[in-house]
Amino acid sequence: MLIAANWKMNPEGVAHARKIFDGIKSTATKIRGVETVVCPPSVFVGDLRSKATGKRLVLGAQDAHPEAHGSYTGEVSALALKSLGLRYVILGHSERRAMGERSDLVARKVEAALRSGLSVIVCVGEKSRDRDGEYLDWVKNELLASIRGVSKKDLERLTIAYEPLWAIGENARRPARAEDVFQMTIFIRKVLSDVYGSSYAKRSRILYGGSVDAENAESFLEEGRVDGLLVGRASRDPKAFAKILEMASNRR
């Protein structure tokens, strides 16, 4: 199981970041069968990296530029993140897509991050659902465009996070139901199998993200049949996040 914490642009200061991280660490290092990935704002990584154990508890970033270096003011490259010991990077998050990031740019970022040695968590998800099932084609197209350059040998380092936009963040309408997630887990696995073959497609992990909390996490893990969760708000509450980690450990 993989449980990823997306802190987004939180908390406001490094002292608070340390406190949340210490709270998460005390559970993440105790439980078995779960890899916990904390993705803080990159500015806090230098401070937190000495606390990450490197085995059960690792650090990730929330974005990375597709070029290795150059005149890109304000950007951070995948290679720079890798050099600090980060293991993962979230790419194509809906909040970045809402800022204008398109799937072709996400695909370039995915390729660069994999080349640098990082594992990637690529986010996909529809804005809304329709009765005719057109949202399935929408998710398929977004996924295939975002992982265009991924080869079979990279699938072990590719994780897909299914995050329906209507269930994400502070303006979420409601969390998805476990059956919505189950349907999409099967669908995404099929899309991967059609491209890479089923034995290779199994190597990638599929996560659910969107309003996950300590109350609903178990149903996503159990009935949604995902390989883990991408957690936003609840990942900044060490007590709630600890419960989610324990549920994941019991499900492995």
How far is residue 64's CA from residue 76's CA, in Å, rounded to a whole number? 6
Q: Is residue 230 a contact point for ligand PGA (CB under 6 A)?
A: yes
Is residue 41 a contact residue for ligand PGA (CB under 6 A)? no
Is 26 exposed, middle or buried, given 0-12, 13-18 or 19+ CB atoms closer than 10 A?
A: exposed
* 2 lines the binding site for ligand PGA (CB under 6 A): no
Position among 40, 224, 232, 238 found at the interface with ligand PGA (CB under 6 A): 232
Which region, judged by CB under 6 A, interacts with ligand PGA, from 14-22, 52-60, 70-78, 228-236?
228-236
- What sections of the chain are H helices per DSSP? 14-28, 45-48, 78-83, 94-97, 103-116, 134-146, 178-196, 198-201, 217-222, 238-251
Number of residues that bind ligand PGA (CB under 6 A): 13
163 is a contact residue toward ligand PGA (CB under 6 A): yes
Q: Quick one: which of 34, 56, 19, 51 has its CA closest to 249? A: 34
Judged by DSSP in three states, 40 sits in coil
Q: Is 169 in the site for ligand PGA (CB under 6 A)?
A: yes
93 is catalytic: yes
Minimum gap (Å) between residue 167 Cβ and ligand PGA: 7
Decide: is 10 part of the binding site for ligand PGA (CB under 6 A): no
Catalytic site includes residue 163: yes
By beta-carbon proximity to ligand PGA, the closer residue of 185 and 211 is: 211
Based on the shown chain and the rule CB under 6 A, indicate whether residue 40 belongs to the binding site for ligand PGA. Answer: no
**Phi, psi of 87, rounded to the nearest 5 degrees:** -110, -30
Q: Is 212 in the site for ligand PGA (CB under 6 A)?
A: yes
Residues labelled as active-site residues: 93, 163
Residues that bind ligand PGA (CB under 6 A): 6, 163, 168-169, 172, 209-212, 230-233
